[in-house]
Amino acid sequence: MKKAGLALAIFFCAIALAFTTTVKKDHWKSLFNGKDLSGWDTYLGPPLDDAGKPVTNEPVSLNNDPKQVFSVVKDNGENVIRISGEGWGAIISHKEYENYHLQLQFKWGALSWGQKKGKKKDSGLLYHSVGKYGADYGAWMRAQEFQVEEGNTGDYWGCAGGMADIPAIKKSETEYIYDKLGAMYTFSQESKQGRHCIKQGDAEKPSGQWNTLDLYCHGDTSMHFVNGKLMMVLYHNRQLEKGQELPLTKGKIQLQSEGAELFYRQIRVQPIDKLPAF
């Protein structure tokens, strides 16, 4: 009886521990309510011609979307966010985030527009977004970009003054590929290397299938994952402001419209106190 009682006690303790651990780790908050774009603003830059040049200097601007570039539609019975790509801009979270794990899913649609027509479909997850609207190409805030583009998802771009140090291998005068054992380079619009670093490897699924992106940000470091595979690690996230380098460790989230149709779903975020091991 004593052995049976002890075994039973251990069994219930294990269940209690498992439950406690699960509750402790699960702090996800959805950023898409499954109904509409509550919690997000929309912003569109000036209309562009097929060569990518502005037709006018006047942006369509904040929360003015006459062509419904940003909408919620049904996909196989599920409400998802559709970004048509007809115009350059973004949906922008109302809130700023710091020390977090962001997870979302995206898939490509069929449409492309203007200078992007017939080319790789393009978008982007912009994080640590700060400053004025339209600072980059008249369409996006200053930010760090987790590139979302066919074949290049996971790359880094610094937007409108965003900069970071990334270990990389120099492939050519203009191409640098992430490598955790590579030399440390600074990527920014002012640096010799430029503001673009190529991810390592490829994990994107064929066009039309859902992909999962995981972004981890803690302190001044961030990590890009595509379908569970690490693409790159960025160190010393910062921004160039009037010639001074300042920290860039928190900000809003932007999901780009950049000439291609795509869909987003299951957008959620939770706080973290450390980065995952890699």
Structural domain includes residue 11: no
Say which residues have a Cβ less than 8 Å from residue 15's Cβ, sequence separation at least 6.
none
- Whether pLDDT at 10 is above 60: no
Spatial contact of 149 and 123, defined as CB atoms under 8 Å apart: yes
User: In which band, very low, low, confident or very high, does the pLDDT at 254 lie, cut at 50, 70 and 90?
Assistant: very high
Q: What is the pLDDT of residue 30?
A: 98
Q: Please state the domain count of the chain.
A: 1
Alpha-carbon dihedral sign for residues 111, 115, 121, 127? negative
Convert the pLDDT of each residue in 153-187 to its tens digit.
999 999 999 999 999 999 998 999 999 999 999 99
Mean pLDDT of the chain: 91
d(CA 83, CA 262): 6
pLDDT of residue 263: 98
277: in domain: no
- Specify which residues 41 forms β-bridges with: 92
Q: Name residue 205's amino acid.
A: K
What is the value of pTM for the model shown? 0.89
pLDDT(17) > 60: no
pLDDT for 58: 75
- Domain assignment present for residue 119? The answer is yes
Looking at residue 47, its pLDDT comes to: 81
Q: Decide if 133 contacts 46 (C-beta within 8 A).
A: no
Q: Residues 184-204: pLDDT tens digits?
A: 999 999 999 999 999 999 999
Domain residue limits at 126: 35-271
> Residue 173 belongs to a domain with what CATH number?
2.60.120.560
User: Above 50 in pLDDT, residue 44?
Assistant: yes
Residue 19 domain-assigned (yes or no): no
Q: What is the mean pLDDT of residues 217-243?
A: 97
- 1 domain-assigned: no
- 96 found inside a domain: yes
Strand-strand pairing, 211-218 and 100-112? antiparallel
Read off the pLDDT of each residue in 251-261 and give the average, rounded to a whole number: 97
- The reply to whether 6 falls in a domain is no
16 lies in some domain: no
